[in-house]
Amino acid sequence: MADLSVEFAGIKFKNPVLLSSAEPTFNFEAMKKGIDQGIGGVIAKSFTDVEALQELVNKPEMSLLDEDHQVVRGKIPGMYTHISRTAFAKESLDEWMRIIEKSVAYARERDAVVIGSVAGGSMDSWVNISKRLEAAGVSMLELNFGCPHYGPAGTLGGPVGQNDKFAVELVRNTKKQVSVPIIVKETPQLSNIVASVGKVYEAGADAVTLTNRFLGLALNIEEGKPYIHGVGGCGGPWVKPFTLRAIHQVARALAIPISGSNGATDWKDALEFMMVGASTVQFCTAVMVHGYGLLTEILNGMSAYLDRKGYGTVQEIIGAANQHVLAYSEVAQLAKERYQIDEENCIQCGACVEACFYGAIAWEDESPRITDACLGCSFCSSICPESAISQSKKTG
């Protein structure tokens, strides 16, 4: 059986599967459920001293939407959107530290790691909460730069990660006060994610989580109102390609360890995140939708894949796909591809003719034909209802 253990920012995890800082880690009982599934670790729900954020504990709102952005009623589709505005840890700082201490003790007995999460209301409070979490025994700290925190005059503002200057100062100040590794959880809403991550890395961040959720808005058109009264964090399987891109870009540019988050729903997604550079993979929405038992399924699926492929350790796949991800300039140098139609399976529906925006498919004797104008984009093969179109040859 392949070894699932990984090293992440100097800390060893028995496997790369983690529970994100969210409702599935909202208290000791929630973290215990995850740890009992055998995962490598949990990131506790963020603690904040921002009153406006603390008050949200009395008004959490969530909607699970299907492919048509209609509310799901029981039958979970494969592709869904989870939009929510939820609360931070509701306890006092002292109460939360007792929960953390209990969770750390339970995790250590089961070879799991507890990571503390911080979302302060001032520079001093970020540092103070971090110090308290370290004293409570957490192995690492995750600074939550992806959720709206405080702005001018104590008002709620945008994600901290969008303010590079403040983010760098916060990392530097925290790094001076704690000895455990610091992870920066970035917002995906950055103009240049590599540059922003690079700045906090230079400031002392030991690792980065890519990424927190996008802020979005979903409307009920029958009522002309938002589903959750306003803007909220958006997650779900639809976001995976965006997260893969972020992980790939940062992994290629910087030597900072990465924890992948946002969009992973099963063991295959976990492997994809790792193949583009993540050392650990966080799960949240999928666990909320399908239950904690999903975590065991993910571990079993990863193990079976690694054994089938002949890997000795999961660390062998970290970043393995990046060498095959080409830049636009490199793609332009590739040999052109051509497609062909299987006449026996073709039903002459004409879908491919309508779908070819390069004018490379034409009617000939009442049947569609792919001409020499084909550029090999492959869109027609996706549109064909009978799978009658396939790649034929490369033309040089």
DSSP tag of 79: S
Phi first, then psi: give them for residue 63, nearest 5 degrees: -135, 135
Alpha helices in 190-266 (DSSP H): 193-202, 240-253
Cα gap 374→338, rounded to integer Å: 6
Cα gap 28→359, rounded to integer Å: 61
* Tokens (6 digits) for 225: 């109102």
Contacts of 139 (CB under 8 A, 6+ apart): 11, 41, 113, 114, 115, 180, 181
Contact (CB, 8 A) for 81 and 238 = yes
Q: Name the percent of the chain in helix, strand, coil, to the closest 5.
A: 40, 20, 40
- How many C-beta neighbours within 10 Å does residue 227 have? 21
Cα gap 69→47, rounded to integer Å: 31
Answer yes or no: 147 catalytic.
Answer: yes
Out of 147, 284, 352, 356, which one is annotated catalytic? 147
Contact (CB, 8 A) for 390 and 342 = yes
Q: If you search the block for the tokens 């492929």, which residue do you land on?
A: 309
Cα gap 12→1, rounded to integer Å: 19
* Tokens (6 digits) for 268: 């295959």
Contact (CB, 8 A) for 113 and 139 = yes
- How many C-beta neighbours within 10 Å does residue 365 have? 5
Closest CA to 319 of 236, 264, 256, 263: 256
Phi first, then psi: give them for residue 25, nearest 5 degrees: -130, 35
Cα gap 105→310, rounded to integer Å: 36
Catalytic amino acids?
A: 147
